[in-house]
Amino acid sequence: MNPRIHATTILAVRCRGQTAIGGDGQVTIGQTAVKHDTNKIRRLGGGKVLCGFAGSAADAFACWTASKTSWRSSRATSAGRPSPWPRTGGPTGCSAAWSPCWSPPDAETSLIISGSGDVIEPSDGTAGIGSGGMYAAAAARALLKHTPLPAAEVVRESLLIAADICVYTNSNLTIETL
């Protein structure tokens, strides 16, 4: 049996003129946490686009490597450009990787992009992916509704809540802001 590698829980929040994205550091193979300090957040487009990767670790980082050459700093070219691989998963099997991406210059567009080419724009600027992503997104929506916290703090507190619930999420966080 070949155990699946998991690298999960990414949350991105756009609020009050700020954008923040964060991820936990846990990598799990089967039932074992094998790494606790992985960085799942990357900057693309000359640092103007933030991406977080969840799904199979190998698939996610292969997608990141492939996307480095296809992303542009402009939202029109990055989101409107066809995927560099076919919807079947392409040369690296990217269909298991999901990436919430934020595309400035105006920081008004949030996108969830799957490795198979699906593009979803969240209605409220909040997106969670990975095994703890829905827990983190729910916590973020509650914090946004009831607190004046800045985006980075909403991401931090929400990921910590997810880490208390999801066994595939830890509290070793990486958070980036635009």
With 0-12 CB in 10 A as exposed, 13-18 as middle and 19+ as buried, what is 47? Answer: exposed
- Coil vs helix vs strand at 98: strand
Could you tell me the pLDDT band of residue 100, with boundaries at 50, 70 and 90? low
Supply 79's token pair.
């989101």
Q: What pLDDT shows up at residue 80?
A: 45
Return d(Cα 3, Cα 43) in angstroms, integer.
Answer: 29
DSSP string computed for 61-92: HHHHHHHHTT--SSHHHHHHSPPSS-TT-GGG
- Cβ–Cβ under 8 Å, residues 126 and 16: no
pTM tops 0.85, yes or no? no
Q: Which of 50, 38, 109 is nearest to 79 (CA)?
A: 109
Residue 89, CA distances (Å) to 59, 71, 109, 154 in order:
9, 18, 25, 33
Instruction: Give the mean model confidence (pLDDT) for residues 101-124.
Output: 72
- Cβ–Cβ under 8 Å, residues 166 and 10: no
User: pLDDT of 67-80, one tens digit each?
Assistant: 555 544 444 444 44
Instruction: Give the mean model confidence (pLDDT) for residues 49-69.
Output: 64
Return d(Cα 38, Cα 53) in angstroms, integer.
Answer: 11
Greater confidence (107 vs 19) lies with 19
Instruction: Give the mean model confidence (pLDDT) for residues 149-175.
Output: 96
DSSP H or E segment with residue 138: helix 133-146
CATH topology (fold) of 5-173:
Glutamine Phosphoribosylpyrophosphate, subunit 1, domain 1 (3.60.20)
- Coil vs helix vs strand at 20: strand
Catalytic positions are: 8
Taking 70 as the threshold, does the pLDDT of residue 28 lie above it?
yes
Q: What pLDDT shows up at residue 146?
A: 98
Q: What pLDDT shows up at residue 90?
A: 44
For the chain, the domains span 5-173
Q: What pLDDT shows up at residue 83?
A: 43
Q: What percent of the chain has pLDDT over 90?
A: 38
Taking 50 as the threshold, does the pLDDT of residue 64 lie above it?
yes
Q: Which of 101, 3, 12 is nearest to 56 (CA)?
A: 3
